[in-house]
Amino acid sequence: MQCYVCAQSGVETVAVGVCIVCGMGLCKDHAIREDVELWEGGYPFPSTKAKKKLPRILCAECAEVLT
Amino acid sequence: MPQPTLMKRAIAELIGTFVLVFLGTGSVVTSVVFFGGVESAGLLLIGLSFGFAVMIMIYAFGHISGTHINPAVSIALWATGRFPSKDLMAYIVAQLIGAVAASLVIVAIVGTRAVDAGLGHTMPGDGVNYWQAILIEAVTTFFLVLVIWGAAVDKRASAGFAGLAIGLVVTADIIVTGPIAGASMNPARTFGPLLTETFWGTTSGWEKFPIYIIGPIVGGLLAAFVYDYVAGLKSGGDES
């Protein structure tokens, strides 16, 4: 798979990730990693933030919409 | 997790049927004995009010504090190793303060008429002695804590329904046993009106307060340990 963003400007770059929202192939320069915090527990225990975060790869367009 | 043993499944069935018949037929007995078959609409509203209150607070603060809102629940969680000792006293004190504050706000809004009406305190009904009152408080709190364990503590439970189930068991407990001993199930719930009444010179209810400490705590502890055994939560449930 090639990077969709690079392909739009006529450059062929190998994709290293896929946007989790739209499925767009993304190279290292265009992939945006936004880690998601996880919460554990809940009633009848207080929720606690998990030590590890969930990795999430987004393209620039989806990242803008989601943030 | 493997299927529990037949003995454990049988105990679960026994308790489930006991709850069904106790609350189902008990509501009839209560209506006839205490209301002559009528005038129970008020009890329904009271039961629903408590049930709704528990339900909405579980959904509102369940992920924050755990919404115990009941020393008997905190103690049961602590006794089964699920709640740290260092937090226990703070939770109980907060619950007692919250209860007293609620009663004071009611007086502030309604005036001394609320005190004259008893502030919703819990007392054994006519013909109900001390030990019977403790027993009914233990039984109703047993149901309550059993549902908390089954619907929330046990991670096999369907997510998101704990508040509804727990609110409904509180409602059922109150509708059926409210006239017997007040259906407190919660030392803090009894403490709030009692202390507030004392501020206005009524001190007659304190001799009955141990009912609402002993009954709920004993019932809650029993339910917690019975559920852990039946569901195999503490043993891993892998006996065969």
- Which ipTM score applies to this complex? 0.70
Q: Which of B27-31, B129-133, B209-213 has the lowest mean pLDDT?
A: B27-31
Q: What confidence tens digit (pLDDT) does each residue in A1-44 have?
A: 999 999 999 999 999 999 999 999 999 999 999 999 888 878 88
The answer to whether the CB atoms of A43 and B152 lie below 8 A apart is: yes
Residue B24 has pLDDT above 80, yes or no: no
Q: Which domain holds residue B19?
A: 6-32+40-231
pLDDT at A2: 95
> B204: which DSSP letter?
T
Q: Kindly indicate the confidence band of residue B120, based on its pLDDT and cuts at 50, 70 and 90.
A: confident
**Is pLDDT above 80 for B107?**
yes
For residue B214, pLDDT beyond 80: yes
* Assigned domain for B237 exists: no
Prediction pTM value? 0.82
**B148: nearest CB among A42, A44, A46:** A44
Q: Nearest 5°: CA angle at A38, between B56 and B81?
A: 65
Quickly state the pLDDT bin for B25 (edges 50, 70, 90): low
> Residues 176..215 of B with a Cβ closer than 8 Å to A: which?
none
DSSP B163-177: HHHHHHHHHHHHHHH
Residue B236 lies in a domain: no
Query: What is the spatial distance between Cα B198 and Cα A12, in angstroms, rounded to a whole number?
Result: 81
- How far away is chain A from the Cα of B35, in angstroms, using its nearest Cα? 36
Tell me whether residue A55 is exposed, middle or buried, using C-beta atoms within 10 angstroms of its C-beta: 0 to 12, 13 to 18, 19 or more: exposed
Overall average pLDDT of the B53-67 stretch: 89
At B109 the pLDDT is 87
Give the CA-trace dihedral at B141, B52, B15, B150, to 10 degrees.
Answer: -100
Q: Which are the contacts of B69, defined by CB distance < 8 A and separation ≥ 6?
A: B54, B57, B95, B98, B186, B188
- The alpha-carbon gap from B86 to the nearest alpha carbon of chain A, in Å, equals 15
| Residue B59 domain-assigned (yes or no) | yes
* pLDDT at site B239: 41
pLDDT above 50: residue B16: yes
Q: Is B74 on the interface with A (CB under 8 A)?
A: no
Instruction: Break chain A down into helix, strand, coil percent, rounded to 5.
Output: 20, 30, 50
Q: Determine, for residues A45 and B67 on separate chains, whether the beta-carbon distance falls below 8 Å.
A: no
Please list every residue in chain B whose beta carbon sits closer than 8 Å to the beta carbon of residue A47.
63-64
User: Domain tally for chain B?
Assistant: 1
**Whose CA is closest to B119, among B171, B192, B44, B201?**
B192
Interface A:B, Cβ pairs < 8 A? 32
A42: which chain B residues are within 8 Å (Cβ-Cβ)? Answer: 62-63
CB-CB neighbours of B39 under 10 Å? 10
Give the pLDDT confidence of B150-193 residue by residue, as tens digits: 999 998 998 889 999 999 999 999 998 998 999 999 999 999 99
Q: Is A48 on the interface with B (CB under 8 A)?
A: no
Tokens, residue B104: 């004071």
Residue among B71, B41, B210, B148 nearest A44 (CA): B148
Cβ–Cβ of B148/A45 closer than 8 Å? Answer: no
Phi, psi of B88 (to 5 degrees): -60, -50
B179 domain residue, yes or no: yes
CATH of the domain at B47: 1.20.1080.10
Query: By the CB < 8 Å criterion, does A55 face chain B?
Result: no
B239 in a structural domain: no
How far is the alpha carbon of B151 from chain A, nearest alpha carbon, in Å? 10
Is B1 a residue whose pLDDT tops 60? no
Name every chain B residue with its beta carbon within 8 A of the beta carbon of A45: 66, 77, 82-83
Element (H, E) at B181: helix B162-181
Q: What pLDDT does residue B180 have? A: 92
| B163 inside domain | yes
Q: What is the pLDDT of residue B121?
A: 86
Has residue B240 been placed in a domain?
no
To test the contact with chain A by mutation, choose from B63, B77, B161, B169 the residue with the greatest count of A C-beta atoms within 10 A, namely B63
Contact A15, A25 (CB under 8 A): yes
Residue B130 phi/psi, 5-degree rounding, is -55, -50
Distance from chain centroid for Cα B164: 14
CB atoms within 10 A of CB B206: 12
Task: Give just the sign of the alpha carbon dihedral B152, B158, B163, B169.
Answer: negative
Q: Which of B66, B73, B153 sits opposite A46 (nearest CB)?
A: B66
Q: Using CA atoms, how far apart are residues B79 and B73, in angstroms rounded to an integer?
A: 10
Question: Is B238 part of any domain?
Answer: no
